[in-house]
Structure 1
Amino acid sequence: MEDDISDMNRPQMYLFGCTLKSDKREYKVDVDDDETEQQLSLKAACLGAEAEDKFHMVEVEALTYDGKATKVPLVVLKPSVLPSMGLGGFEITPPVTLRLLSGSGPVHISGQHFVSVKDSDNEEEEHNTSPVKRPAGLMFGKKVSQGPEISKKANKMKQNGPAPKASGSRAKPQTKTPVPGKDKAQAGQSKSPSLAEIKSKLLTAAKEGRPLPKTEQKFENFVKSSFKIADKQVVTDLWGFVKTLKVEKK
């Protein structure tokens, strides 16, 4: 059932053609059915083989946007100069009149005739806006109908915003990214310098004239804080080494 309705709303395309000549200089396309929307797409105009070598001018008469009738030249042909011309899909909404202004013809005009059933929404829009019947459902009716749906989806996404992120302990996994500086500090705590390295640093400090603790208790605190040494025997050995440096310095 839905497919049948869709086929009815889809524009139907028909072949269009007319001939203008001396005994029939006008051709009209009227809209007799108010339930349909129609549109002409003129593709080409050409002279017949029997046309005289004179200029043949064809004009088209139709409605402007504000509903007023207007006339404009469509094509000027001459067998020895320009026997035919492509119109590239010149689209006009009926009622349309094609008229041979000069020459005796015949001038053959061909194209396509589109017909589609009006939507109720399009009828209300036409009554509320303009008396001109616009072929909204013919060439681009389906694209227009998708516009409101896309706009609604975009507004809904804008209002809702992105999906909310979980807060608290559920927001991230339990594993924490290690801080580089913190890792180095922990690495320094886990591994103390060797006794030779400490003596080398103490010797360098003494040569540079940097003050060292003068009492064993202060030296013990200094070693614990600076080199993370808690072994009493190592501290005693280092203290003896420092006193030796003091003696050599004297």
Structure 2
Amino acid sequence: MDDNFYASTLDSTNKSVKWDVVGDTKEFPNPFYKLIIRQFLLGHTAKENEYNVVEIETSSMSESKPNQIKVPVAVLKAGETRSIQTVLEFPDPPVTFKLVEGNGPVYIHGQQVPGNYEIEDSTELSGEEEEEEDEEDAKVSISKAKNAKNGKKN
């Protein structure tokens, strides 16, 4: 898999960072990438007792139409919470990270991975899976037949 490390820093001079792969064909030859965030980390120079709140802005599908959403994803405070481990997946760019409270620095770590936009029909089974399912159905049928012969309910 061709994935890339992702890192950004939010602080008092850089309160917003946007992740968007559209148009950057040198770094992302495949335009279908998704972003996976693994960690938010509060820097060692963060002010004691200051809350640092990171908010994301992205689009979400609602009633078959895109809808812009904003939601806080991390609240960090020196002396209490220095890091948050997470698995946040953003399948569609753009995603904007904003430091809506505090001065940071807040480091964002994750990875950019090729997205898979082929929709697979989960009801279709491979030949091997079909054979396994048929064998299981046969075992259940035999068991039911034996229990019926012996007068037992299954």
Give secondary structure in 2 for the equivalent of 1:52: coil
1:91 maps to 2:89:
yes
Deviation of 1:31 after TM superposition, in Å, equals 2.9
Match of residue 11, structure 2, among 17, 21, 37: 21
Percent identity of the aligned residues?
Answer: 28
User: Residues 78 and 39 of structure 1: is their aligned pair in 2 closer, same or farther, counting only changes over 3 Å?
Assistant: same
| Structure-2 residue corresponding to 1:58 | 54
Deviation of 1:15 after TM superposition, in Å, equals 0.4
Kindly provide the amino acid, as one letter, of the partner of residue 150 in structure 1: S
Q: Deviations over 1:44-73 (max 9, x none)?
A: 111111111200000011110231111010
Mapping 1:1-250, distance limit 5 Å: 11-33=1-23, 36-53=31-48, 54-65=50-61, 66-87=65-86, 89-93=87-91, 94-115=93-114, 135-137=115-117, 144=120, 148=124, 150=126
Q: Which moved more, 1:30-39 or 1:47-56?
A: 30-39
Deviation of 1:38 after TM superposition, in Å, equals 1.0
Q: Deviations over 1:56-108 (max 9, x none)?
A: 00001111023111101010000111111111x21112210000001111000
Kindly provide the amino acid, as one letter, of the partner of residue 20 in structure 1: L
Counterparts of 2:85 and 2:12, CA distance in 1: 23
Deviation >4 Å, runs of 4+: 145-149
What's the RMSD between the two structures over aligned residues? 2.7
Deviation of 1:17 after TM superposition, in Å, equals 0.6
Counterparts of 1:144 and 1:96, CA distance in 2: 26
Counterparts of 1:146 and 1:86, CA distance in 2: 31
* Structure with the higher helix share, 1 or 2: 1
User: Residues 147 and 36 of structure 1: is their aligned pair in 2 closer, same or farther, counting only changes over 3 Å?
Assistant: farther
Question: What count of residue pairs does the alignment treat as equivalent?
Answer: 120
* Structure with the higher strand share, 1 or 2: 2
Counterparts of 1:79 and 1:112, CA distance in 2: 25
Deviation of 1:136 after TM superposition, in Å, equals 3.5
**Residue ranges of structure 1 left out of the alignment (5+ in a row):** 1-10, 116-134, 159-250
